[in-house]
Amino acid sequence: MPHFHRRDFLSSGLAGIALASLLHRDGLLRADDEKWTPPDGQPHFKPKVKRVIWLFMVGGTSHVEAFDPKPELNKYDGKTIDSTPHKAVAESPLVKKNLREFVPGLHKVQPKLMKMQTGFKKYGKSGLAVSDWWPHVGGIADDIAVVRSMWTTDNDHGAQLQFHTGRHALEGPFPTIGSWVRYGLGSLNDDLPSFVVLGKPLADCCGGTFGHGGNYLGPEYSGVPLLVDAKNPLPFLPGKGQSTGKQREQFDLIRMLNEHVAERTPDDPAVRAKIQSYELAFRMQAAVPEVMKLDAEPEDTRKLYGLDQPETKEFGQMCLAARRLSEKGVRFVQVFHGSNGGAGAWDSHADILKNHPPLCKQVDQPIAALVKDLKQRNLLDDTLVVWGSEFGRTPGAEGSAGRDHHPYGFSVWLAGGGVKKGVVHGATDELGFHAVEDRHYVTDLHATVLHLLGLDPRKLAVPGRKRLEVDYGKPMSAVLL
Amino acid sequence: MRISISCGLVALACLCVGSASAADPVDFTKHIRPILEKNCVSCHGATKQKAGLKLDLGKRVLKGSLNGPVVVAKKSGESKLVHALNGTGEAGQMPPDGPLPDAEIKLIARWIDEGAVIPADEVDPSSQHWAFVPPKKAAVPAGVHPIDHLMAAEWAKRNVTPAPEADAATLVRRLHLDLTGLPPTPEQVDRFRIDEYEKRVDELLASPAYGERWGRHLLDVWRYSDWYGFGGELRNSQKHIWNWRDWVVESLNANKPYNRMIREMLAGDEIAPADPAVVRATGYLARSYYKFNRNVWLDDVVEHTGKAFLGITLNCCRCHDHMYDPISQEEYFRFRAIFEPHQIRLDPAAAEIDPEKRGVCRVYDADAKAATYLFERGNEKQPKKDKPLPPGVPMAIAPSGFAPKEIALPSAVAHPTLREAVQKAQIEYAAAQIKQFKAEPRNKVAVVQLQAVKAKLAADAARYAKPPHPRAAELIRHAVALHLETMALAAEADLAEAEEALKALKDGKGVEAQKKKIADLKPKVNAARKACETPPADYPPLMPSYPEASTGRRTALAGWIASKDNPLTARVFVNHMWMRHFGQPLVPSVFDFGKNGRPPSHPALLDWLAVEFVQSGWDVKKLHRLMLTSRAYRMRSSFIGPEANANRKADPDNLLVWKMNPRPLEAEAIRDSLLSVSGLLDPTAGGPELDHTDDAAKLRRSLYYRHAPEKQMPFLTAFDGPSPTECYRRATTVVPQQAMALVNSKLSARAADAVAKGLTANEPGEVVAEVFRKLLGRPPTEIEAKLCAEYLMNNPPAALVQAIFNHADFTTIR
């Protein structure tokens, strides 16, 4: 049972308490809301894991060149879909139904099939198929559960936001999966934020800071971006001569003054977020620089993550920092790769053979290292690692050598406590087009994460904020032990 | 489809072809249009019209293609449309990827045979999108503030109750922070009377700080960035771009109409070519400069001009027709063609001969013939060279009003040496050389150099006069001769000096090297002397010359954008202003008013404001005044009680604006407030950008510091300062780094010390009261007074001041 710190929860529950008590006093809670109490920081049932590391590739990673091999693409390379025996794929009503389109018919299916641009190998005892662009992840095949049947409804990069909120970008921002975890569970370490963001966050086009936002849960549930930079871990640290005791006194005064503001303006969630951020700031300014001292890691660990190679160094540092943060009790570490101010580095419309291999090279070894390292430290048993991207890429070619956005069927994988090892779940059709077996909308992934943490999303719902059935999703029980 | 709100499904339902029974006549809208929409309009529709044929509307089906009608009423056998569908016509099989089901072709034939009837009141669905329809003013009764009237309508619809008016102390602070980015001084608070609210609005709009505050807002939208690159190498934006920043601030303070601002930024060099105060506005375009790729540069210009002024995502149709809006890929490149001829140059500032040192970056049309080609799939390696594209604008937004006409430029613009200021600077510089080099042989060089400069200026004036002066050729020869003489004298002086230096060396080290230097110089002297005997036809110009005409494309574009007939321009601007006064926009997708954007929360209000804004002559200050004098703006930001809670149930996000939104103060305003309350603020306006690492040493307003990627004040970054590459709307996060910035930074310590030093009170209770008055413009509450007085027992006043910098009321507009 993870313990949590009461102090953290005293303030973190404030938002809910304040609003709910306002509504309650005036008899505005519905009968079922009346039973509502803010989360107490404890899981709702026995959890399998305590923490999550969420690895997100920005721009759309090709599933048919990663974890979902499709020999039929090689067989019908250069042929149009309707000239193959798989004609029905392009005619499936899912082509339109799967998407939330505003201009019907404008989303073209890329009809000319393009062969897989890399080979696949079977790895480990499980014989899990992983492409040659992901050899290191191949090396941890026996530890991961691949889900090949994900789908989403936005075929543009708003899907990045959707992957984290479960709602189409057109509906606006909603709380993200990390913020739900932060909202539902108490902190394991008061000295660090419970929800940390590493790597450059999403660009404004595709969600921006909403991609790690708490939205209506309140700004205190948003992810806290940290720099992985030992020389400059935080932009403003206390001066050398600063007395900690004196500063504590000052922080206490600030807290009391702002709590007084919060009492007077209970409907301003930013005040409560501010109170919490100060508590965290005081403790974090000592703890974060320590965590970011990656040099403290032994040479072989640094090598494992690829810190000795220019291609892997940057993302290796992120993954290593993610492990160090998790180890110290951070509940949710959201790691971005490939955010480039626009659609994202993985968005390979023109030439996938040029685009994907160097990106895979940057992340493959660090990601595998993360899983191996967690395992060797016995942390993998109560940690969940999730890998994903906003969608896959089209089986058909875009232009001569690119692949377009593909929301109809794509892959994610999970590893860690409570998750089956070396399994494949769900399937796309023979072209890798539609998710056809055990289809999972992105909120099923959220449901799985929450389930493993011992959380029931229905119990987290906030009065006055209607959630749809689809928002809750269903845990992917087939990949769970 | 599991998302329950499914527009896709609704649309699909409409697409199902209704079964026409044999007895009823075929209905175009119900039966035929869905078939055409599903199968034909992607090539024959709003965004693409192969063979000039559009099949998206009945009247266009009847109009036919470039080759004539495709439908002959009552005669399906003679109708080209039916032939094409059957694969028996000249066009071959349509659609090209396979024929329609037989039943559908028969249905179309039947419709034709029944007379090809189309509904009289057909509407074009793509032009019906709310933002592409010109705004209209709803009727507003006299005696009511229009904003309040239109908001009340929305409140009534959803049964929400507006919040009561905020108290005077809150309002005065709100107004000052909102309009100037600085808190009111205690005196300004004391002086405020609620019945003088409008007077205070006017005072603040008239203060220079207004332009600095709102200038920074607009610089977000127009993505201001100082130059950046690699080390000292300029790769993006331009040196001296601050001239444009100052233009923004000054234009707002002068209440320059918004349509005029658009014209000056996009085409200042064409509309007022000889006026440097206007031409600097084109820094807006110079900002997008990118050294290594002209396509990236122009893509940025197109994308951000679309987003900033029109709220359309033109960038989405660079590789293909727009997915959501009626804009074609070809239109993207036609829009680019508007900018194709333009380049950037540095004009020297007055009294300066080297524009690199002090100049003004600006644009000009360098090459009227520069061709624009569509890039296949947006790939710059695949230009469609067989079809150069003329400039154009997206027709679906506003079909008329874009007609470029070439503009002749004054000679002094094409040839900067004709400008008096330039001449004066050149002569003064040369004259100063004479004073600097008093001794021979240099003095003589400088004397002749001055003559040469004067001769060149005279020759330039003669040759570029309209018509050229008859003595131009003679003057050119004279200038050439003097130029050559200067060069020869300079070479001789170099040699003479080198020989002097050799004498001084006597013997020892360096003698050999010096001798070699002399040996190298001698032929140079000979060559320079020889050149005098065979003078070239022309002299090297003192400054480069530029074309004497400009294409007028950007002027035409600016006119099309800044037109009352453009349905987007005023709406987009009004929305930006509203967002910054009310803490949330009326249209949440501030840079995308297209179909992929989000609809307005108060459509009638947005439209009323847009029309009013245009009718007022695009008067920006009037627009502020309109918003600020509404009852809506004066509402409390905290609203509690049964009515408020009922509101919260109906509209938890306050989308209907039933109370004011409390807003976190922006990064610059926090820093500027620290400086202002401590009396440290240096109010100097404008000028070259200050070093961003000097932010705690030099103490001017934050917008005057260097702001570029990797060159931003960390203090601003901590508080969600704007990204210099794109920031249509700032993020508002609450993160621990902000606490650290206000508690640990040198700036906050220094400001706290300064406030503490200026305190006149001694007794703890009075000190607390004075600090609250200075920082928050109000007395402390009883609890605050007690907490702070207790704190002062063990801590110095400066520590208390710093704590109050962290008070939520200091960093929030309430």
| Pairwise CA distance, residues B700 & B220, whole Å | 19
- What was the pLDDT predicted at B125? 65
Q: Which CATH class is domain A41-235+298-479?
A: alpha beta
pLDDT digits 0-9 by tens, A199-224: 999 998 899 999 999 999 988 999 99
DSSP, collapsed to helix, strand or coil, labels residue B313 as: coil
Give residue limits of the domains in chain B: 13-124, 237-409+548-566, 416-533
Residue A35 binned pLDDT confidence (cut-offs 50, 70, 90): low
Cβ–Cβ below 8 Å for A250 and B795 = yes
What is the DSSP annotation of B350-377? TT-S-TTTSEEEEEEE--TT----PBGG
Q: Could you give the maximum distance between any two Cα atoms of chain B, in Å?
A: 120
Amino acid at B668: E
| Pairwise CA distance, residues B224 & A177, whole Å | 34
Q: Show which of residues 194-233 on chain A sit within 8 Å of chain B, judged by CB atoms.
A: 204, 208-209, 216, 219-220, 222, 224-225
| Pairwise CA distance, residues B47 & A435, whole Å | 32
Residue A243 binned pLDDT confidence (cut-offs 50, 70, 90): confident
| Pairwise CA distance, residues A468 & B777, whole Å | 46
- What was the pLDDT predicted at A28? 55
Question: Terminus-to-terminus CA distance in chain B, angstroms?
Answer: 43
Structure tokens at A461: 């719902």
| Pairwise CA distance, residues B124 & B45, whole Å | 11
Q: Give the closest-approach CA distance of B778 to chain A in angstroms.
A: 14
Residue A386 has pLDDT above 60, yes or no: yes
Give residue limits of the domains in chain A: 41-235+298-479
A278 interface with B at CB cutoff 8 Å: yes
- What was the pLDDT predicted at A30? 53
CB proximity list for B271: less than 8 A, separation 6 or greater? B263, B264, B278, B555, B558
pLDDT digits 0-9 by tens, A311-340: 999 999 999 999 999 999 999 999 999 999
Residue A452 has pLDDT above 70, yes or no: yes
| Pairwise CA distance, residues B615 & B609, whole Å | 10
| Pairwise CA distance, residues B672 & B679, whole Å | 10
Q: Which residues of chain B have pLDDT under 70?
A: 1-23, 46-48, 123-127
Residue A56 binned pLDDT confidence (cut-offs 50, 70, 90): very high
CB pairs under 8 A between A and B: 229
| Pairwise CA distance, residues B278 & B558, whole Å | 14
Residues of A in contact with B735 (CB under 8 A): 222, 224-225, 277
Which string of b and e fits A240-263 if b means at least 16 CB within 10 Å?
A: eeeeeeebebbbbbbbbbbbbbbe
Query: Which residue do the tokens 């370490």 mark?
Result: A189
Cβ atoms of B132 and B396 within 8 Å: the answer is yes
- What was the pLDDT predicted at B96? 79
Cβ–Cβ below 8 Å for A26 and B641 = yes
Cβ–Cβ below 8 Å for A100 and B588 = no
Residues of A in contact with B732 (CB under 8 A): 219, 270
Closest chain A residue by Cα to residue B319: A349
| Pairwise CA distance, residues A247 & A441, whole Å | 48
pTM (2 d.p.): 0.84
In angstroms and rounded to an integer, the radius of gyration of the C-alpha atoms of chain A is 23
Q: Give the closest-approach CA distance of B602 to chain A in angstroms.
A: 17
